[in-house]
Structure 1
Amino acid sequence: MTMTTYIGTVPIAARLGVTAQTVRNLIRRGELGPAVRVGAQYRIPAEAVEAYLERTLVTA
């Protein structure tokens, strides 16, 4: 069985250079996820964050 690593909105926000609220907005719009709610907080699989970064990466 594979263990999935989940990341909270604050570390994701720091990695993306945005606020935690922006990360929550991305989750609600379905652009980042699937997200899991743990109490009042979201957790996103690390693989989903990497996939989002690959999709939105802008090359110069």
Structure 2
Amino acid sequence: MSTTADSVRMLVDGGLVESTSGATFDNVSPATGLLLGTAAETSDFGARALAQRSRAHRNH
């Protein structure tokens, strides 16, 4: 189930960043079926772009 959240971020290349789309997904334990939390969702392409932006920001 995807939703939009204001404060959900993901760890990309050593830094916390928001997803490119703002979409999230529920992280559910396969063992218990309980909701562990909400995670930011992005595509592979989005994660690479965020990593590049993160590295560029750190280098300046």
TM-score (norm 1): 0.38
TM-score (norm 2): 0.38
Q: Which has more radius of gyration?
A: 2
